[in-house]
A and B are shown apart, each in its own frame.
Chain A
Amino acid sequence: MKEEEIWTISEVTESQQIKNISYELLAWGSPLAKELGVPLSAVVFGNNLSEEELRELIYRGADRVYKISHKYLFPFIVENHSNILDFLIKKFQPQIVIAGATTQGRTLMPHLSVKLGTGLTADCTDLKIEKDTGLLLQIRPAIGGNIMATIKTPERKPQMATVRPKSKKMLLRDENKKGRIISIEIDDALFDRKVIHMGFQKNEKEEIDFSTADIIVSGGRGLKRKENLTLIRELAKQLEAAVGASREVVDRGWISYPHQVGLSGKTVNPKAYLAIGISGAIQHLAGIKTSETIIAINNDPLADIFKIADFGIVGDLFEIVPLLKKKLEEKRKTNEI
C-alpha cells in the first residue's frame, strides 16, 4: 500500500478531546495535499477516543483518520509514540509528516526522525510544494529570527516538519465532508514501558494563559528594574490581560520563563499585544508577528518594535503607563456614573 499521503499528528487533551492544533495541522496540510493530489490524514493517539471527536477531524479537512487507542497512549510518552509512528510510517509510507511545534511535537518529531533516518525542519512558518520536484519547501526563521531559511529533504522520505501553533486558521467545519476512520491495533511489543508518568499539575487558575488571552501586556528591558514590572502587572490587571516579557527580562530573573514571549519563549497571537519598553529584537518580533494589533511604547524612536506596530508612542514609559492607567480608570468611572 503506497499512496504517498500527507500525515498530520493530532494531539488530544486529558479528557481525550482533539486539541485545536490538530485542526490547524489539517489547514496546513490541505493545500499541500490538493497540490500533490494525495489524501490528507490525521493520526490520533489516545486512550478511549470517541468516534464523535474523530469525525470532527474529517469535518475539518481529513480524508482519513488513523485511530490508535490504547491505555498506554495517554499521557504522551515520547518513546511509545515514536516507536508506534516509526512502525506505521514504514508500513503506510506517507510522503510528508507534519506535527505542531508544541512541547509534544518538538519532542516526538526529532526522536522519530532519527529512527526513520530522515530530515526534520523545526518550527516552520510556511510550507510550500516545489513546482518541478513536488518536494516540500520548509520555511523557518533562524539565527534569532535574523534570517529566514528555505529547507528541503531531497532524498529521504518522509519529509518531516513542525509548524507553529496558532499560525494558521482552521478550515471551516463542513459536515458534508466525507472521510474514513481507520482503527489500528498495536502490538504490545511496541510499548516502551521504562518511563513512568507520575501525574500532571495544571497551571494556577489566576494566571491567564497566553493561548486564551485576548490581550497581552509585555514588558522589556526598558523597565530598568524588577520592581517596575509592577507597572506591567497593574496595567494587565486593568485590561484583563496576560503578562508577557522579553527574553532579557526573563534572563535577568525578573519574571518566570513561562511568561517569555518570542522565538525561544512562546509564540503568541492575541487580539492586541502591548509591548512596553521592548526594543523588538527580531526574535521577539517573530514571536508576536501574527497578533491582530500591536501597540508599542518605547523611548527610542528607532526601535524595531515600531516597524511592526499599528500604534506607537515614542516617550518615557514611566510617564506614559501611569497616565494611561489613570485615564483608563477615569473613563471607566465616568461611564459608571
Chain B
Amino acid sequence: MKIIVPIKQVPETSQVKINEETGTVIRDGVENIINPLDLYAIELAIQLRENHGGTITVITMGPPKAEEALREAIAMGADEAILLSGKEFAGSDTWATAYSLAAIIKKIKAYDLIITGERATDGDTGQVGPGIASFLNIPLSTYTRKIESVNKQYITVQRLIEEGTERLKIPLPALLTVVKEISYPRLPTLRGKQRARTIGIPVYNSIDIGIPGNKLGLKGSPTRVVKIYRPQVVRKGTILKVKDERTLSEAIDRLISFLEKRKIISF
C-alpha cells in the first residue's frame, strides 16, 4: 500500500506573540513543530504499513526550514520525504496550497491512500485536505476516527459527526483527514532518528513539477487578508480570592447564590 501524508510545519501556538502596533505575527524565537494533528496521520500510516506493507511518503510545502518537520516524520517511521519549496509559493491560501500539493502528488506518485490531519493549528481551517481530494478527484472522508477494514479495492472507515459516527465504504485511491481518536502517535525511535539525520530529501519548486505561476502563492490565491488584529476580550465579573478556610467557604456561598440568582440552579 502506497501512502502519502501531506504535513505542515506550524508555530507552537502558545508561544505566538503579536506586534500590537503593526498587527503582525512575531515568529522570531518561536519554536516550529509538526502540526499536532498530522502526527496522528503519520501514526495511522505507519500502522497501515505494519499491517499491510507498503511505503509512506511525507510531503510538505513551505520554506526550506520546513525540512525539519519532514525529518521528524522520518524519525517516527516514514520511508521518504519531499519538500515543495520556493518563493513562488509564498502567501498561498488554502486553495493555492491544495492546488500545489495536488500537483506534486499527481506528478510524482502512484498512491493508494492520502492521509492528513483534520486541520492545522495555525490556520485552523481544515480546508486543504478536502481541497486536495477535490483537485485529484478522489473520494474523501473527513473527521475519520477509525479504520474498520482495508483491502486492495476498498477502505471502510468511521467518521465522527455531530450526532455520533457514520460508516463509509470508500474505493481506493482515497483521501482521509483524521481526528485524534484514530491513533496515538509514537515517539521517534533511535534508528529512525539516525535515518532522519542522513536521508536525502529532494526539494522541488514549481518549475520542477511543471505548474503555472499564476496559480501559485499570493497570485494564485482567491482570498486576500485585508487586516489582522488582536481580539479584544470583554467581560468583567466578580473575582474572589481564597486565602483561608473562611474565605473559601464564603466564596462558595457567594458562587451558589450567584448561580441561583442567574437561574442556573434551583433548589
Residues on A lying within 8 angstroms of B by beta carbon are 14, 75, 78-79, 82, 102-104, 106-107, 109-115, 117-123, 137, 141-156, 194-203, 211, 214-215, 239, 250-251, 253, 256-258, 263-264, 271-272, 281-283, 285-286, 289, 293-295, 301, 304, 306-316, 319-320, 323-324, 327-328, 331-332, 334-335
> Once the chains are docked, how many angstroms separate the CA of A82 from the CA of B99?
17
> Once the chains are docked, how many angstroms separate the CA of A301 from the CA of B239?
9
CB proximity of A290 to chain B, nearest CB, Å: 11
CB proximity of A17 to chain B, nearest CB, Å: 13
Having A198-B168, A335-B267, one finds 5 other A-B pairs with CB under 8 Å, namely A110-B128, A117-B95, A143-B16, A147-B229, A281-B13
Interface contact B235-A309, CB-CB below 8 Å: yes
Residues on B lying within 8 angstroms of A by beta carbon are 11, 13-14, 16, 18, 23, 25, 36-37, 93-95, 98-99, 119, 121-131, 133-135, 139-143, 145, 156, 158-171, 179-181, 184, 221-231, 233-235, 237-242, 248-249, 251-253, 255-256, 258-259, 262, 264-265, 267
Given contact pairs A122-B125, A327-B252, A202 touches B163 in the complex (Cβ within 8 A) = yes
Interface contact B160-A196, CB-CB below 8 Å: no
Interface contact B124-A141, CB-CB below 8 Å: yes
Using CB atoms, name the residue of chain A closest to B221. Answer: A119
> Once the chains are docked, how many angstroms separate the CA of A123 from the CA of B124?
9
Q: Which residues of A contact B165 (CB under 8 A)?
A: 200-201
Interface contact B181-A256, CB-CB below 8 Å: yes
Which one, B13, B133, B222, contacts A117 given CB within 8 A?
Answer: B222
Which one, B13, B130, B162, B231, contacts A102 given CB within 8 A?
Answer: B162
CB proximity of B18 to chain A, nearest CB, Å: 6
Q: Which residues of B contact A328 (CB under 8 A)?
A: 256, 265
Interface contact B166-A75, CB-CB below 8 Å: yes
Q: Which 9 A-B pairs have the closest CB atoms?
A: A315-B242, A119-B222, A144-B13, A119-B223, A114-B134, A198-B167, A110-B127, A122-B125, A310-B237
Give the A-B pair count, Cβ closer than 8 A: 269
Given contact pairs A103-B142, A202-B164, A111 touches B235 in the complex (Cβ within 8 A) = no
Interface contact A332-B130, CB-CB below 8 Å: no
> Once the chains are docked, how many angstroms separate the CA of A106 from the CA of B37?
17
> Once the chains are docked, how many angstroms separate the CA of A256 from the CA of B146?
13
> Once the chains are docked, how many angstroms separate the CA of A75 from the CA of B161?
12
Interface contact A120-B223, CB-CB below 8 Å: yes
Interface contact B242-A316, CB-CB below 8 Å: yes
Q: Which residues of A contact B163 (CB under 8 A)?
A: 14, 200, 202-203
Q: Is the interface of A mostly helix, strand, loop or mixed?
A: mixed
> Once the chains are docked, how many angstroms separate the CA of A59 from the CA of B99?
41
CB proximity of B193 to chain A, nearest CB, Å: 23
Q: Which residues of A contact B129 (CB under 8 A)?
A: 110
Interface contact A263-B131, CB-CB below 8 Å: no
Q: Supply 6 A–B pairs (Cβ within 8 Å), ascending by A.
A: A110-B125, A142-B228, A253-B184, A264-B124, A295-B259, A311-B238
Interface contact A114-B242, CB-CB below 8 Å: no
> Once the chains are docked, how many angstroms separate the CA of A258 from the CA of B256?
29
Q: Which residues of A contact B234 (CB under 8 A)?
A: 308
Q: Which residues of B contact A145 (CB under 8 A)?
A: 231
Which one, B180, B228, B265, contacts A150 given CB within 8 A?
Answer: B228
Interface contact B233-A122, CB-CB below 8 Å: no
Using CB atoms, name the residue of chain B closest to A86. Answer: B134
Given contact pairs A148-B229, A315-B248, A215 touches B223 in the complex (Cβ within 8 A) = no
CB proximity of A319 to chain B, nearest CB, Å: 6
> Once the chains are docked, how many angstroms separate the CA of A156 from the CA of B223?
9
Q: Which residues of B contact A335 (CB under 8 A)?
A: 267
Interface contact A295-B140, CB-CB below 8 Å: no
Q: Which residues of B contact A334 (CB under 8 A)?
A: 267
Which one, A153, A211, A251, A264, contacts B223 given CB within 8 A?
Answer: A153
CB proximity of B183 to chain A, nearest CB, Å: 11
Interface contact B258-A307, CB-CB below 8 Å: no
Q: Which residues of B contact A202 (CB under 8 A)?
A: 163-164
Q: Which residues of B contact A215 (CB under 8 A)?
A: 264
Given contact pairs A147-B25, A253-B184, A301-B241, A197 touches B167 in the complex (Cβ within 8 A) = yes
